[in-house]
Chain A
Amino acid sequence: MAAILQVQGVKKSYHLGKIAVPALCGVSFEVEEGEFLTIFGPSGSGKSTLLHLMGGLDRPDEGQILIDGVNILKLSDAKLAEMRLNKIGFVFQFFNLLPRLTALRNVELPLTIGGVSDEETTERAQQMLKLVGLEARGDHRPTELSGGEQQRVAIARALVTDPKAILADEPTGNLDTKTGWEIVQLMKKLNEEKGQTFIVITHDPHIADTADRIIHLKDGSVEAIKEAPRGNKR
C-alpha cells in the first residue's frame, strides 16, 4: 500500500514570549492508505501539534510533511487550503460545527467552499448523513442534536469531499464512554467498509488499541510504534 502521509524528521516549537517551547522534536513515520492509525500519548506530548501539521493547518519548523506525495512546505497558503479542502478531513474534540447552519448545511460546507454545484452538494451531503445514520436529522441545527449526533455530523462533513485521510483530534474526548465508543465503531466501520484512512488522536488506551497501528508519543518524540495488538489488521 502507498504512503499517503509522510512525516519526516518534523520539529515544531511554540514561542511563549521569548521562550521557545518545543512541541515536537524530530518525529518520523508514514501513514498508508486505508490504515486506521491512532496517535496515543498523554496531554502535552505534542499529539495535536502533530495532527495540525499532518493536516496542513500549520507548517513544521524543520523536517517535511508530504500529503499524497506533495511537500506542504512548498505550497502557498492558498494551495495548502486547497489541499486541506480536497485531501484532508478534520474531526475535532468539540465538533466545531457552525451553530447557525443545519446539519445538512454543515456537511455541505466543504463542497460549497469548493464551488461544487448545488444539486451535487446536497446529494452528496445527504449520502454522507445516511452513512453516519443521521439522514433524518439533516434539518436540525447543532444545538438540537446530542453530542454523539454532532460528532457524526462532523464525521460526515469530513467525509463529504472524499478525502485521502481523516484526521480526528480526540473525537471522543467530549462524549460519554458509551457514545464515544459508538463513534469509534462508526469510524472503524467506515475504515473497513469504505477503506477510508483514519488518523485518530487519543489519550484513551482502549480507543488506541482499536487501531491497526498505534504511535506512542511522549514529550514530542515517538516512543514506540505498535502494530495491531488485537489483530485489528485486516
Chain B
Amino acid sequence: MKLSKILSMAMENLKQRKLRSSLTTLGVVIGITAIIGLASLGEGFRIEVRDRMQQGFELNNLTIIPGSLFAGLSRQRFSDGDLQNISKISGVQTATQVMQIGNVTLYNGNKTAQAFVATAVDFTQFVKVFEDRFEFDGDGPAEYKNDTIIIGYKVNHPNEEDTTPFAVAHDNVTVTLLAPEQLTPFYKLQNHTFNVGGTLQKKGTPGITNFDYWIFISLETGRTIYDTQESDLIFVRVNDPEQSERIAEDIEALFPPFRITILVPLTFIRQVDNILAIVQLFLTAIASISLFVAGVGIMNIMTVSVMERTREIGILKAIGAKARTVLGMFLAEAVLIGLIGSVIGLFTGYGLSYGLASLLSGFIQPQQNTTFQNPETPPLTITPVFSLEWTIAAFVFAVVICIVFGLYPATKASKLNPVEALRYE
C-alpha cells in the first residue's frame, strides 16, 4: 500500500473520531507548548542577562581592588611598583591606577554641582583603558595638563530638564575637597581651581562603573594635594577577553594571598550563563514530562481504538492487507497526532512565551527604581528567542514519543488473527 494512501486513510480515521482525536492531540499540543514556551523564554532570558552583563562588565577590562571581602578590612593600597609588575604580564594591553577622592562640590561662578565620585587618574593611560567610554561633548582637550578636569555627564547636567550645562570646555571651576593641611595631621576643606578640559557624553553604562557621575583630575595633582604616592584601584585592559581569567591568575600570583580582589567579568558571565543554561534545560526537562504524559494518552486511546476496530482490522487483513500495512496505518495515526499537535503547539508555545515574558517583565518593572539600581539601566525586557534547533528538536521528540507510544497498540493491531478479528463483535 502506498505511503500517501496510508497517511490519507489515517487522516480520515482521525477525522472520523473528531472529539477523541482532538483530545489526544491536545496532550501533544500542551507538551510542545510547554517545551517551546519555556525553552524560548529561557533562551531569551539567558541572552538578555548575558548581554546586560556584557554591557555592564566590559569583557576586556579587569578591576583590581585592594583587600578581600572576607579577609579583614585592612586595605593596603597600590604602589607604582604594583602597577609596573601588572603591566609586564603578557596579554595586558594597558594598566592604569586610580586614586579615589570621594564626594566633592564644584563651583562655576554662581552654579554648583555635586560629583559623587571624584578621581585622580593618569589620563593618557586611563583613556587607553576606557577608549569606548571616554567620548566628549564637542572637542576633547588638546593635551592633559595638571589643572585639567574632565566632568561626567550627570555632574554637568544634574537636572535633565535644564539644558544649560554646569560648565563647558575651558571654563575654570573651583572644587572643594577635604584634604590634609600642610605640616599638620588635620584634614581641611580646601578650594582648588581647575580648567575644564572637556565634558563627557552620556554613556549611562550599567555595571560597576558609571562615568556619568564621575569627575577626573590628573593623578599628579591628586598626589600633590593628598601627599601620597599610592592609589586605590587598578584597571587593566587585556588584549583578548578569553585570556582574562589566565591574566587574573597571573596578577594574583604577584600579591600575597587575600591582598587583592580581581573582578573578572568573563568569569561572572560564564558562571551566570552556565547557571541559566542549566535552569533552561531543567525547565525544558520538566516540560518534556508533559509530552510523555501525552504519549501515554496516545497509547491509551489507540489501544481502545484497536479494540473497537478489531473487526475492521479483520476485514482489511481478509482482503489482503499485510500486517505491515496495518501497523503502518495505526502508526501513521500516531505520527499525524504528533505532527498536528507539534504544529499547533509551536504556535501556542510562541504565544505562551510572549505571554509569560510580558507577565514576568510586569513583575520585574516596579522594582527597577531602587537606590542601588543605576537609573540609566533600561527596564528588563525578556524577548523570547526561538531557535530552529529547539523547534526541530521538539518536533522530532514529539513524533518519536508518538511512535514509541503508538507502537504497542499498532503492533497489537497488526498481529490480530484475521479469523478471530472477523468474529469479534
A interface vs B, CB < 8 Å? 52, 55, 57-58, 77-78, 81-82, 84-86, 88-90, 92, 96-98, 100, 109-110, 112-115, 157, 161
Contact = CB atoms under 8 A, between A and B. Distances in A.
Nearest to B319: A110
Nearest to A118: B5
Interface of B: 1-2, 5, 9, 12-13, 16, 311-312, 314-325, 417-419, 422
B319 A57 contact: no
A92 B315 CA distance: 10
A112 B3 CA distance: 11
Contacts of A115: 1-2, 5
A114 B318 contact: no
B317 A81 contact: yes
A85 B418 contact: no
Say whether chain B's binding surface is mostly helix, strand, loop, or mixed: helix
A81 B417 CA distance: 12
A79 to B, nearest CB: 9
Contacts of A52: 419
Contacts of B316: 109, 113
Contact of A96 (B5, B318, B320): B318
Contact of A81 (B5, B312, B322): B322
Contacts of A109: 316, 319
5 contacts: A81-B321, A86-B320, A90-B319, A98-B315, A113-B1
Given A96-B315, A98-B312, A84 B320 contact: yes
A160 to B, nearest CB: 10
A77 B322 contact: yes
Given A82-B322, A85-B320, A98-B312, 5 more contacts: A52-B419, A84-B319, A112-B5, A115-B1, A157-B319
Given A98-B312, A98-B315, A100-B16, A113 B422 contact: no
Nearest to B312: A98
Contacts of B322: 77-78, 81-82
A89 B315 CA distance: 11
B303 to A, nearest CB: 20
A81 B319 CA distance: 8
A154 to B, nearest CB: 10
Nearest to A116: B2
Contacts of B314: 96
A193 to B, nearest CB: 23
A114 B320 contact: yes
Given A57-B418, A96-B311, A96-B422, A112 B320 contact: no
Contacts of B13: 100
A55 B318 CA distance: 8
A78 B1 CA distance: 13
Nearest to B415: A77
Contacts of A92: 422
Contacts of A55: 318
B37 to A, nearest CB: 36
B18 to A, nearest CB: 12
Contact of A84 (B1, B16, B311, B318): B318
Among B1, B311, B320, residue most surrounded by chain A Cβ atoms (within 10 Å): B320
Contacts of A161: 320
B323 A113 contact: no
A169 B58 CA distance: 86
B5 A85 contact: no
Among B2, B323, B324, residue most surrounded by chain A Cβ atoms (within 10 Å): B2
A200 B255 CA distance: 104
Contacts of B311: 96
A16 B124 CA distance: 102
Contacts of B5: 112, 115
Contacts of A77: 322-323
Contacts of A110: 319-320
B311 to A, nearest CB: 7
B2 A58 contact: no
A82 B418 CA distance: 14
B16 A113 contact: no
Contacts of A100: 12-13, 16
Nearest to B320: A85
Contacts of A113: 1, 316, 319-321, 325
A89 B319 CA distance: 7
B315 A58 contact: no
A52 B323 CA distance: 17
B318 to A, nearest CB: 5
Contacts of A78: 322-324
A52 B318 CA distance: 9
B237 to A, nearest CB: 72
B310 to A, nearest CB: 12
A2 B39 CA distance: 70
A155 to B, nearest CB: 13
Contacts of B419: 52, 57-58
A57 B318 contact: yes
A55 B315 CA distance: 13
Nearest to A58: B419
A91 to B, nearest CB: 10
A81 B2 CA distance: 16
Ranked nearest first, the 10 interchain pairs of A and B with the lowest CB-CB distance are A85-B320, A81-B322, A84-B320, A96-B315, A57-B418, A78-B322, A110-B319, A113-B1, A113-B321, A52-B419
A109 B312 CA distance: 12
Contacts of B312: 98
